[in-house]
Amino acid sequence: MKSLLLIGQSNMAGRGFTHEVPPIYNEKIMMLRNGRWQMMTEPIHFDRPVAGVGLAASFAEAWCKDNEGEKIGLIPCAEGGSAIDEWSLDGTLFRHAMNEAKFAMEDSELVGILWHQGESDSQDGKYKEYYEKILRIFNEIRRELSVPNIPFIIGGLGDYLGKVAFGAGCVEYQLINEELQKYAQGNENCYYVTAKGLTSNPDGIHINAMSQRIFGIRYYEAYRKKEHIYEPLTNEKELVDKCHNRMNTSSEKTYIALERFTLGKISYEELMKAFS
């Protein structure tokens, strides 16, 4: 099995409203819980009670189309609101994420790292030291997990920032994006993904569910082609539709029925019918 480390702040954790997009159930996509793998359901992260749709589900769904017969596991380690300094090498978040990744790597091969962070550093001139900080962190992740060459996919911050509600304070998000691009361009096996055109929840800071699906497709395109994605993809909405319209297998249907029964949404008789 292959695996991906998900790391950064809330827009990697995912805050898209689950009711705004069709769910993705795919028996080839797993997520880490208590150090073990189980079939992915969203939210993949559990960093906050407000966790929702992130970019990893559509990334993984697109990955599965190109890797038939293989499984991909998602390692959720993003933390809502975390500034880059909170990811310092001796800090809890960093050490915990490395631990989680090592549990995952006991029975999977880490093939990529998906990073999204920077909103919490988009003010007060923090961009000036941002490059040096991510350089140190990314180098250490590669060293700590012994993955010198796997792709690091780094998404930019959305253009909806710096305007309303909780996003209003992120006035220097473009300067952070410049640092992220500089890093991706100047370091091997590292690719930048634009957030152009993505839109937010009413809070003005969190990427909404449909935009997260699109973002995941862009991240995957960067991963697949090993190149920077500076512009929206012409067919990205079509690719999201493909994620949403895939027919579920019988074991996925069984999983969904069991989940609904356990949540009290269907009766035991209805569950038994679903099994027959």
Q: Rule CB under 8 A: which residues touch its own copies?
A: 15, 17, 33-36, 38, 41, 46-50, 77, 79, 92-93, 95-97, 99, 103, 106, 164-165, 201-203, 206, 259, 261-264, 267-268
Closest distance of CB 70 from its own copies, Å = 22
- Which one, 151 or 158, has the nearer CB to its own copies? 158
- Which one, 34 or 250, has the nearer CB to its own copies? 34
- Which one, 49 or 69, has the nearer CB to its own copies? 49
- DSSP calls for the chain: -EEEEEEESHHHH--B-GGGS-----TTEEEEETTEEEE--S----SSTT--B-SHHHHHHHHHHHSTT--EEEEE---TT--GGGG-TTSHHHHHHHHHHHHHHTSSEEEEEEEE--GGGSSTTTHHHHHHHHHHHHHHHHHHTT-SSS-EEEEPPPTTTTTSGGGTT-TTHHHHHHHHHHHHHHSTTEEEE--TT--B-TTSSSBPHHHHHHHHHHHHHHHHHTS-B-S--TTHHHHHHHHHHPPPPHHHHHHHHHHHHHTTSS-HHHHHHHH-
Closest distance of CB 195 from its own copies, Å = 19
- Which one, 120 or 201, has the nearer CB to its own copies? 201
Closest distance of CB 90 from its own copies, Å = 11
Residue 99 tokens read as 């631990």
93 contacts 100 by C-beta, under 8 angstroms:
no
Residue 147 tokens read as 């993955």
- Which one, 249 or 267, has the nearer CB to its own copies? 267
Closest distance of CB 95 from its own copies, Å = 7
Closest distance of CB 45 from its own copies, Å = 9
Closest distance of CB 21 from its own copies, Å = 14
Residue 152 tokens read as 């690091």
Closest distance of CB 260 from its own copies, Å = 9
- Which one, 97 or 210, has the nearer CB to its own copies? 97
Q: How far apart are the first and last CA of the chain?
A: 31
Print the SS3 string covering 167-180: HCCCCCHHHHHHHH
Closest distance of CB 128 from its own copies, Å = 27
- Which one, 45 or 218, has the nearer CB to its own copies? 45
- Which one, 149 or 268, has the nearer CB to its own copies? 268
